[in-house]
């Protein structure tokens, strides 16, 4: 019976927290002025460059971790 009570409380908490996503947006509001539109374009370009650099460094790190681990042909 305790398990069902915990599941019920967890489910109720999950349903209550769905209101958080009511005004959730990923981007800036729609720009009104031309300068705001230019600023948004610059922001998006820098975010794209940052994402590319992030994934490149992440790929290098994963490759380095996998290829240089001790368990891969390590002889003491």
Q: pLDDT value at position 72?
A: 64
pTM of the complete model: 0.58
| pLDDT tens per residue, range 5-28 | 888 888 888 887 777 776 666 778
The DSSP element (H or E) to which 13 belongs, if any, is: helix 2-16
What pLDDT score was predicted for residue 23? 67
pLDDT at 24: 63
Q: Give the integer Cα–Cα distance in Å for 37 and 16.
A: 37
Domain boundaries, the chain: 32-69
Residues 6+ apart with CB under 8 A from 37: 31
Once rounded to an integer, what is the mean pLDDT over residues 46-52? 97
What pLDDT is recorded for position 27?
A: 76
């Amino acid at each position: 019976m305790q398990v069902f009570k915990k599941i019920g409380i967890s489910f109720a908490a999950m349903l209550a927290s769905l209101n958080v996503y009511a005004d959730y947006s990923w981007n800036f509001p729609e720009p009104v002025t031309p300068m705001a539109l230019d600023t948004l374009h610059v922001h998006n370009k820098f975010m794209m460059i940052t994402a590319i650099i992030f994934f490149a460094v992440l790929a290098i790190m994963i490759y380095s971790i996998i290829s240089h681990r001790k368990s891969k042909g390590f002889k003491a």
